[in-house]
């Protein structure tokens, strides 16, 4: 079964949001165009409590984009974003959600971040997405969304480790740091993850 996974296409990651990805809103029309081509469409949604450990505002002695250590891993401190039940956490208003069968929320635990749609950053807790996809019979997973170099990237590699065939739809995604993402794309190719455009679906 051919499955589309839309990662975090939320207002706070769009231009004008609290953590905007450059030109992030340009992916919305592309995602809307490709959705009918899939047997199954699901999405992830960043869904943070206000006291989330990754927010710089909860560390008065630290600056935005500074780092701390959590669970033995380096954690970037972000602007407050995708706070539960705020407009910033909602999906872009022009994004078609009619055919979505499920939404998997992540980042709900205030004590650890969750870039991947599958697990938190410490791999301590699963969102249930992998099991859901396996039960549905999904074999090929196509990823798009925001940000390509963070949440999309980590989602793809968790899916890859779960044994799924993974595809990255480049023109339906945007990176926060485009230069860094070029190196990440090379890593994807090395591992056999296919990078495609929406026209190739």
Give yes or no: 37 in active site.
no
CB atoms within 10 A of CB 75: 17
Instruction: Point out the catalytic residue in the list 82, 144, 151, 166.
Output: 151
Give yes or no: 166 in active site.
no
CB atoms within 10 A of CB 200: 11
Instruction: Point out the catalytic residue in the list 80, 106, 120, 149.
Output: 106
Give yes or no: 109 in active site.
no
Would you state the structure tokens that stand for residue 123, as one six-digit string? 């791999």
Would you state the structure tokens that stand for residue 116, as one six-digit string? 């991947």
Catalytic residues: 8, 106, 151
């Amino acid at each position: 079964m051919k499955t589309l996974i839309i990662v975090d296409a939320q207002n706070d990651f769009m231009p004008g949001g609290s953590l905007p990805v450059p030109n992030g809103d340009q992916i919305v029309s592309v995602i809307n165009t490709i959705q009918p081509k899939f047997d199954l469409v699901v999405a992830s949604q960043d869904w943070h409590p206000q006291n989330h450990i990754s927010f710089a505002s909860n560390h008065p002695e630290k600056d935005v984009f500074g780092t701390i250590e959590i669970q033995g891993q380096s954690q970037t401190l972000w602007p407050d974003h995708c706070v539960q039940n705020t407009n910033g956490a909602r999906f872009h208003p022009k994004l078609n959600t009619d055919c979505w069968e499920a939404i998997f929320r992540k980042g709900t635990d205030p004590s650890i971040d969750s870039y991947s749609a599958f697990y938190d950053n410490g791999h301590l807790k699963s969102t249930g997405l992998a099991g859901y996809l396996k039960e549905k019979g999904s074999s090929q997973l196509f990823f798009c969304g925001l940000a390509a170099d963070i949440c999309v990237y980590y989602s793809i590699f968790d899916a890859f480790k779960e044994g799924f065939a993974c595809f990255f739809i480049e023109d339906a995604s945007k990176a926060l740091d485009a230069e860094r993402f070029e190196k990440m794309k090379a890593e994807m190719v090395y591992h056999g993850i296919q990078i495609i455009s929406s026209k190739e679906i």
